[in-house]
Amino acid sequence: MARSRTSKAWLQEHVNDHYVHQAQKDGYRSRAAYKLMEIDDKDKLLKPGLWVADLGAAPGSWSQVAKRRVGDAGRVFALDILEMTPIHGVEFVQGDFREESVLAQFTQLLNGRQMDLVICDMAPNISGMAVIDQGRSYHLCELALEFCTDHLKPGGHFLVKTFQGSGYNEYLQQMRAMFASVLSRKPAASRDRSSEIYLLGKGKKP
């Protein structure tokens, strides 16, 4: 079957993408690594010794960045519905974040300790229907925020991928209720045509 013009264009863009080449050169699993690195360079989220939860981690580039930056004294816990090739020093649970049993298995790993930082680059399977995709995306974002309610320590930070459009303002208000400040970030590695925007909640309120 012939590729559609859209997928051909995407493939061409991917092959010529600076960040794709850079990721291959630097040993990162995807170009998304540079989004987290740029945000972290600006906002200083990852520090040696921190405990970090990475929600929606596969293929693992954010976990790679987090582990390198928190070092041996820090811990990184990753979760995704997809399989993820092991990363040295990263503890991983495979399963659907929306299921209680999976969440229970993941929280067991944390051993009662609250996280210093929660990062979330989750996206739903795309149906191509904007209203449905937006709804699914914000459902995942809300679950990640609920996770922060229970497992992020007071003063901790939360970085989450969102999409501008329906549901964005409501979600922004929910984050403002939980964090001392909420900032938006659009790293250079985000493709211009993408509506994705990262929200950073700093300083979880007690």
Q: Which residues are catalytic?
A: 161
Q: Report whether 143 contacts 193 (CB < 8 A).
A: no
The response to whether 41 counts as a known ligand-binding position is no
Residue type, 106: F
Q: Element (H or E) spanning 118, and its range? A: strand 115-120
Contact indicator for 203, 157 with CB cutoff of 8 Å: yes
96 annotated binding-site participant: yes
> Any binding-site annotation on 150?
no
Q: Which two tokens stand for residue 4?
A: 């559609």
43 annotated as ligand-binding? no
Encode 48-70: b = buried (16+ Cβ within 10 Å), e = exposed.
eebbbbbbbbbbbbbbbbbbbbb
Instruction: Confirm whether residue 74 is marked as ligand binding.
Output: no
Contact between 40 and 69 under an 8 Å Cβ cutoff? The reply is yes
Task: Write out the binding residues.
Answer: 60, 62, 80, 96, 121
- Specify binding-site residues for S-adenosyl-L-methionine: 60, 62, 80, 96, 121
